[in-house]
Amino acid sequence: MEEFFSDCVYVGRGISFTLQLLTGGFFLGITFGTVLAILRHNGICTPFVKGFVSLVRGTPLMLQMSLLYFAVLPLLNIPMEVLSTGILSFGMNSAAYVAEILRGGIESLPKGQFEAAQTLGIPRFYMWRDIILPQVVRNIFPTLINEIIALLKETALISVIGGMDIMRASQMLSAEQFSYFTPLCIAGGYYYILVLLIEKIGRKFERASHHRPAGL
């Protein structure tokens, strides 16, 4: 039993890295994804946005990350840590998916909401920030939670470029013990607990957002 707990502690060393990767990647993804969705809605840089989304969704994340870490960054002579590279790759990848989710949310809003803002003389920045996006985010919240969960599971790919996340920690422990079962089960347990936590926090936010008026 004592050995099991020490294994849990060993694999648990990767939690912090996994969470940093997840939060960094998601916030970068939602920020860039929102910009992409607004650009596309307004018909600005549409070929670029479409091309970016198509390319990112059409190639594996592992390839994107490897390309960035092993080829693009060395070619450009830009030194970047594993964590930063991971956040950048996960963020860009997530942005493409978030942009499409947001696009669906924006298109599902009545055109009259945009027109009402226009007739009231609300500047575009405020219209997006206070009128459109709060409604869109509320509508797409469950899909965004799905995206965070998918991103969490994809963080396991960071081991390809050497990031010390939960998966990598479990692999190292397996190599030390010449046994895969316990370390991998522990890693699975950690991922599952994190997913449950995200779901719980998501539900809390969802409930709160349905009761809270938008800030003025």
Residue from the set 13, 15, 138, 141 that interacts with another protein by CB under 8 A = 138
Contact between 115 and another protein by CB under 8 A: the answer reads yes
Contact 25, 87 (CB under 8 A): yes
Smallest gap, in angstroms, from Cβ of residue 142 to another protein? Answer: 17
Residue closer to another protein by CB (options 122, 184) is: 122
CA distances to 11, 188, 212 from 181, rounded to whole Å, are: 13, 11, 46
Binding to another protein by residue 75, rule CB under 8 A?
no
Residue closer to another protein by CB (options 133, 156) is: 133
Shortest Å distance, C-beta 58 to another protein: 35
Does 142 bind another protein (CB under 8 A)? Our answer is no
What's the length of the chain? 216
Tokens of residue 58, six digits: 């059409």
Stretch touching another protein by CB under 8 A, among 40-48, 84-92, 107-115, 179-187? 107-115
Q: Is 131 among the residues that bind another protein (CB under 8 A)?
A: yes
Give the span between the Cα atoms of 54 and 50, in whole angstroms: 6
| By CB under 8 A, residue 206 contacts another protein | no
* 118 touching another protein, by CB under 8 A: yes
- Tell me the number of residues near another protein by CB under 8 A: 20
